Amino acid sequence: MRECLMAFMLVVAFMAGSIQAIAEEATEEVKVESEVASETEIVLTPEEFEKCRVIYFDRCAGCHGVLRKGATGPDLTPGKTKAKGTKKLREFIWFGTGGGMPGWGKMGTITAKDTDLLVKYIQNDPPVPPQWDMKNVKASWKLLVPPEERPTKPEHDRDVDNMFAVVLRDAGQIAIIDGDTKEVVSTVDSGYAVHITRMSMSGRYVYSIGRDGKCTVIDLWMAKPDTVAEIRCSLDARSVDVSKFKGFEDKYAVVGGYWPPQFVILDGATLEPIKIVSTLSYTYDTEEFHPEPRVASIVASHFAPEWVLNIKETGQVWLVDYTDPNSPGIKMIEAERFLHDGGWDSTKRYFLVAANARNKIAVIDAKEKKLVALIDTGGIKPHPGRGANWIDPEFGPVWATGHIGDSVVSVIGTDPVNHPEHAWKVVRKINSLSSGNLFIKTHPNSKWVWLDTPLSKKAKYRTTVAVYDKANMAAGIFKELKVADYGKAVHMEYNKAGDEVWISIWGNLGDAEKGQAGEIVVFDDKTLTEKARIKGLLTPTGKFNVYNTVHDLY
């Protein structure tokens, strides 16, 4: 017990305290002068090292890896970084790169002083992060409200299907918002720098995953929705999903880990851990051992009792059969590197996932359990979120992705039965406002496709979204909508009816007093005009409508 407590304290120390530190003193000018660091010049005090470790975890590890071996971003081990030299490294961190790296300094996220420290930090060896095995996982498990003590029917008259779970990223909270009244019904604590939520198949439960690997489950039937169980499955994580196959609805959940690289199968109702599985393995192509193959996106198959786990660095898609969760079956499909985010086609048979190091989309057939295509998107760093599906008047059913490193939207044919000549080909390439796109969204009831550009190098595009007409995509952007005059406009989500689009304004926690920590802007999807603002939210990012998330509508 004492060991567990110590490990937990270590981990809390490992993650804590970062956001505020990074947000401070944002606007100093960095000096970009020529210098080649000698060994003595890259020495950091223990305090500086610790500060950098936290900043690195918050801002860099997601793309470059905890061990800095590289993934979406390049290898940052000392052999490589020293060769680049202090001046170049400082430029990268401050100004970003054309390949999609944000200009952390220029954007005001990392100060000039901290940029200098980071430049030194990444020329030192990375610290070895701790492990997190089943003993730690079990010790972190808290069943706050056992299933038998939960409501037997909703304790309110709200439409649960039209509720939204909104990630309040830098506050580490989830807001539950009534989609009809736009009222914030409840705000509950979740994991550190919480990342996404997914819904149980019944739509009753919201599962959240924090960057600290903490998974929580919120019961939407409660008068005031609240957390009923929580667990920490790893120390760094991004994904969670539930069992959706017929007969297994709400039975299990799975949490993917970035560090340690592993996944944990949980009981769906209580989050009691059942099985932990390491993803340590070999790259699919060169078959070299990789020490950090992280679990990126996870989706639940509708064709078998399986999850589709995308193992980023090794470029493998693992189909995990949860019929017998203590002895899960794993089929490894060779795909491409580095697997990141993705979504289903409209039939939910094909899963399209970005392999962002190779600018490709891999297509997995969940029915035949195999890779059916690797598509060159024609852009740098595809980043679909879950993508968007619609019927193109010329090419039939299509799915689309934008790009982080390019101002282009690639539209891909997805119907091998009735439109075989277009299936798994880029049938349209359309301009976006700018590079720096993260998410694209539509709804079967809408005539529009929406695209954000929160990582644009141009401030005006970070707060503007583009709308396209599905019937006339060839015409390019139909309308630009300025959403806010601060923060970043990020991630669109429809309401259940598909007639409203919700967009987050992701501000700074430190600007809460100015009313600029964030809000959600609701647009009328028919008229493309603003309908409402849900104010006073602390750094909202992803939003997940219950009905659309359960049914994979995007």
Give catalytic residue positions: 60, 63-64, 101, 340, 383
CA distance 450 to 440: 6
Q: Dihedrals φ, ψ of 518, to 5°? A: 145, 165
Residue 522 pairs in a beta bridge with 502, 532
Does residue 195 touch ligand DHE according to CB under 6 A?
A: yes
Residue 253 interacts with ligand DHE (CB under 6 A): yes or no: no
Contact segment (CB under 6 A) with ligand DHE among 281-289, 293-301, 328-336, 389-397 equals 293-301
Structural tokens at position 313 = 């660095």
Q: Taking each helix axis from N to C terminus, what angle separates 46-55 and 112-121, rounded to the nearest 10 degrees?
A: 100
Name residues contacting ligand DHE, limited to 360-399 (CB under 6 A).
385-386
Print the binding letters for residues 74-113 with ligand DHE: x by CB under 6 A, - otherwise: ----------------------------------------
Q: Does 467 bind ligand DHE (CB under 6 A)?
A: no
Q: Give the chain's largest Cα–Cα span.
A: 67
Instruction: Provide the token pair at 435.
Output: 């590079």
- Min. distance of Cβ 549 from ligand DHE in angstroms? 8
Separation in Å, CA 388 to CA 410, 449, 522:
11, 8, 19
Footprint of ligand DHE on 475-494 (CB under 6 A): 490-491
Residue 301 within binding range of ligand DHE, rule CB under 6 A? no
Selected range binding ligand DHE among 34-42, 179-187, 285-293, 296-304, rule: CB under 6 A: 296-304
Which C-beta is closer to ligand DHE: that of 77 or that of 453? 453
Q: Which stretch binds ligand DHE (CB under 6 A): 129-137, 291-299, 330-338, 445-453?
A: 291-299
By CB under 6 A, tell whether 68 contacts ligand DHE.
no
Instruction: For residue 245, say if its preceding peptide bond is cis, omega within 30 degrees of 0.
Output: no
Q: Which is nearer to ligand DHE, 264 or 296 (CB)?
A: 296
Phi, psi of 145 (to 5 degrees): -135, 110
- Least distance CB 340 / ligand DHE (angstroms): 6
Q: How far is 221 from 12, CA to CA, in rounded Å?
A: 31
255 makes contact with ligand DHE (CB under 6 A): no
Q: Residues 405, 427, 498, CA angle at the centre, nearest 5°? A: 80
Contact status: 238 vs ligand DHE (CB under 6 A):
yes
Question: Segment near ligand DHE (CB under 6 A), from 226-234, 290-298, 390-398, 527-535?
Answer: 290-298
Interface with ligand DHE, residue 298, by CB under 6 A? yes
User: Which residue's CB comes closest to ligand DHE?
Assistant: 62
Query: Is the CB of residue 218 less than 8 Å from the CB of residue 149?
Result: no
Question: For ligand DHE, which is the closer residue by CB, 317 or 438?
Answer: 438
> Tokens in use for 210?
């924090």
Judge contact between 252 and 268, C-beta under 8 A.
Answer: yes
Radius of gyration, alpha carbons of the chain: 22
Q: Which of residues 413-452 bind ligand DHE (CB under 6 A)?
A: 438
Contact between 309 and 295 (Cβ < 8 Å): yes
| Cβ distance to ligand DHE smaller for residue 150 or 281 | 281
Q: Confirm or reject binding of residue 63 to ligand DHE (CB under 6 A).
A: yes
> Which residues have a Cβ under 8 Å from the Cβ of 157 and sit 6 or more positions away?
none
The dihedral over CA atoms of 328, 333, 336, 340, expressed in degrees to the nearest 10, equals: -30
Question: Which of residues 222 and 311 has its CB atom nearest to ligand DHE in the complex?
Answer: 311
CB of 351 to ligand DHE, least distance (A): 10
Q: Is 541 a residue that touches ligand DHE (CB under 6 A)?
A: yes
Number of Cβ atoms within 10 Å of the Cβ of 10? 11
Helix (H) or strand (E) holding 88: helix 86-95
Asked whether position 495 contacts ligand DHE by CB under 6 A, the answer is no
Q: Work out whether 297 is an interface residue with ligand DHE (CB under 6 A).
A: yes
How far apart CA 295 and CA 259 sit, in angstroms, is 9
Q: Would you count residue 401 as binding ligand DHE (CB under 6 A)?
A: no
Interface contacts to ligand DHE, rule CB under 6 A: 62-63, 169, 195-196, 238-239, 296-298, 340-341, 385-386, 438, 490-491, 541-542
